[in-house]
Amino acid sequence: MIRYALRCDDDHPFEAWFGSSNAYDDQAARGLIECPYCGSHVVTKQIMAPAVSGTNRSGPGSPDPALAAKMRTMMTEAAREVRAHVEQNFDYVGDTFAREARAIHEGRSEQREIYGEASPAEVKALKADGVPCAPLPAAPPDPAKVN
């Protein structure tokens, strides 16, 4: 696994893990990497110092593997719960999300919580106009299918 520091075209910094450098290149070429803040697919790698691992994994500052695994499990469960809450309690508006969010914001549609799909350009325009929106956490992978 390799961790990259990434930045979107709106200058949002974030990190992501990939199986290999080739996996990153493949996902980037297919537009599958998305900024978690604005949904932009225009993402670039940032300069990072490599994490060099030695044979001695214990000592001051060393991550506790059990704690790291517990944190991953907790974060995955939190993302699953957020997504489930939204899917159960918000109205799904499909690919009309940007239009409907703007109509709600401007008072032309009834006030309610919605979710759906929007392109990076639509998200950028909504944010520029002060329309509140945020990406929905991706559905966590099925633990039975993770290698």
- The tokens describing 133, both together, are 């929106």
* pLDDT for 74: 85
* pLDDT for 92: 95
- 3-state secondary structure at position 71: helix
Instruction: Classify residue 64: in a domain, yes or no.
Output: no
Structural domain range at position 37 = 2-45
* pLDDT for 62: 63
Instruction: Classify residue 14: in a domain, yes or no.
Output: yes
Instruction: Classify residue 57: in a domain, yes or no.
Output: no
- Amino acid in position 147: N
Instruction: Classify residue 143: in a domain, yes or no.
Output: no
- The tokens describing 125, both together, are 């325009």
- What strands, in cross-sheet order, belong to the sheet with 43-45? 13-18, 2-8, 43-45
Residue 81 and residue 38 share a domain = no
Residue 83 and residue 41 share a domain = no
Domain count, the chain: 2
- 3-state secondary structure at position 92: strand
Residue 42 near residue 68, CB atoms below 8 Å: no
Instruction: Classify residue 141: in a domain, yes or no.
Output: no
Task: Give the count of beta carbons closer than 10 Å to the beta carbon of residue 79.
Answer: 15
Instruction: Classify residue 112: in a domain, yes or no.
Output: yes
Task: Give the count of beta carbons closer than 10 Å to the beta carbon of residue 34.
Answer: 19
- What is the chain's pLDDT, residue by residue, as a tens digit (147 residues)? 788 889 988 888 888 888 888 888 888 888 889 988 888 888 988 876 666 655 555 555 667 788 888 888 888 888 888 888 999 999 999 999 999 999 999 999 999 999 999 988 999 999 999 999 888 887 766 667 665
DSSP H or E segment with residue 43? strand 43-45
Instruction: Classify residue 69: in a domain, yes or no.
Output: no
